[in-house]
Amino acid sequence: MKLITISVPAYNEQESVVKLYETIVEVMGAIKDKYTFELLFINDGSKDNTLEIVKQLHEKDDRVGFVDLSRNYGKEIAMAAGFDYAKGDAVITMDADLQHPPELITQMVELWELGYEDVYARRNKRHGESWLKKATSKSYYKMLQKVTKTPVLPDTGDFRLLDRRCVDAIKKLRETQRYTKGLYNWIGFKKVEVTFDAAPRHAGETKWNYRSLINLALEGITSYTTWPLRLSTIAGFAISLGTFIYLIYILIKTLIMGSNASGFPTLMITILFLGGIQLTSIGIIGEYLGRIFNEVKKRPLYFVEEYNGEKEDVK
């Protein structure tokens, strides 16, 4: 029988872990004649009892596994660890808060058996989210679609089924500045969509505040496209052209009407405007240089404290 790995990054999710386990066991029980499964939790440095609860589930059910990262690395790195340790012929990534309905797994598996290698779930509705978060998310994806060569699908998160070929492809991409939503599309392969309504969190509070979302958005833009650098070039060229035209105008005006001492406010506005553009451009270049600096160090993506109760050697 084929093995399906369900990879779940978890950070301070002690209220949701047991409920998620029970729901997945029930869902997978309906197809147990054709498939076996492993439920792999990636503990991303949780400060609550998440790891202890997962260990109890592991002792009770050997289909439950866990990877305990040495510290909190963030969800993107935790998902990479899930891909590294997953053993399945297919890997399903999903959140631990039950906003991703496990009941959708059966439909994903059916589409996988039809030959699709990337079955991604798109949200119809987002219950429990503010209108501001929905509006900014929609605007962000619309903008990202326009500036990237490889499209990023809107309203799709990390809830998806990946064939082993897709998983092996993503494992080859070891960049530290990760934007996995972009990597899914970059690797290609045969994709199909399923839809769902995102439910409110089962328990606890979201780890994605506006600061985290802004950082993720910047990561997506700078990791997935060089458009900000090109925008700086275009802005610099446009300002230089405008300045040259203004220079010609001042020269002709001086020759015809003579010079005068007025124009100090205009001069100051021009200097401040150009200074602002230059600082913005330097900041954009700095963002890319910082990412290059992190990449060339070639550090491992993460270290593991233990895997299924066994201490992991540092390789």
- Output the six-digit token pair for 172: 């080859």
pLDDT score recorded for residue 279 = 73
Distance CA 5, CA 87 (A): 7
Side chain identity at residue 107, one-letter code:
Q
pLDDT score recorded for residue 167 = 92
**Which residues, 6 or more positions from 59, have their beta carbon under 8 angstroms from its beta carbon?**
none
| Tens-digit pLDDT profile for residues 265-274 | 666 667 767 7
- Given a cut of 70, whether residue 263 has pLDDT beyond it is no
Average pLDDT over residues 51-70: 89
| Tens-digit pLDDT profile for residues 149-160 | 666 766 677 888
- Given a cut of 70, whether residue 176 has pLDDT beyond it is yes
- Given a cut of 60, whether residue 27 has pLDDT beyond it is yes
| pLDDT-derived band at 138, boundaries 50, 70, 90 | low
In whole numbers, what is the pLDDT of the chain averaged over residues?
Answer: 79
Percent of the chain with pLDDT over 70: 72
**Which residues, 6 or more positions from 299, have their beta carbon under 8 angstroms from its beta carbon?**
176
Average pLDDT over residues 274-302: 78
**Which residues, 6 or more positions from 186, have their beta carbon under 8 angstroms from its beta carbon?**
150, 173
| Tens-digit pLDDT profile for residues 197-251 | 766 555 555 555 556 556 666 666 666 666 676 677 777 777 777 777 776 776 6
pLDDT score recorded for residue 204 = 53
Distance CA 20, CA 27 (A): 11
Is the pTM value of this prediction over 0.85? no
| Tens-digit pLDDT profile for residues 84-124 | 999 989 999 988 888 888 888 888 898 998 989 989 888 87
pLDDT score recorded for residue 62 = 87
Least confident of 26-30, 76-80, 212-216, 308-312: 212-216
Per-residue H/E/C for 149-171 = CCCCCCCEEEEEEEEHHHHHHHH
pLDDT score recorded for residue 169 = 92
pLDDT score recorded for residue 157 = 75
pLDDT score recorded for residue 146 = 66
**Torsion on CA atoms 202, 10, 218, 226, rounded to nearest 10:** -130
pLDDT score recorded for residue 26 = 86
**Which residues, 6 or more positions from 160, have their beta carbon under 8 angstroms from its beta carbon?**
92, 93, 108, 118, 119, 120, 121, 184
- Given a cut of 90, whether residue 161 has pLDDT beyond it is yes
pLDDT score recorded for residue 139 = 67
Measure the N-to-C terminal CA separation of the chain; round to a whole number of Å: 32
- Given a cut of 70, whether residue 45 has pLDDT beyond it is yes
- Given a cut of 90, whether residue 40 has pLDDT beyond it is yes
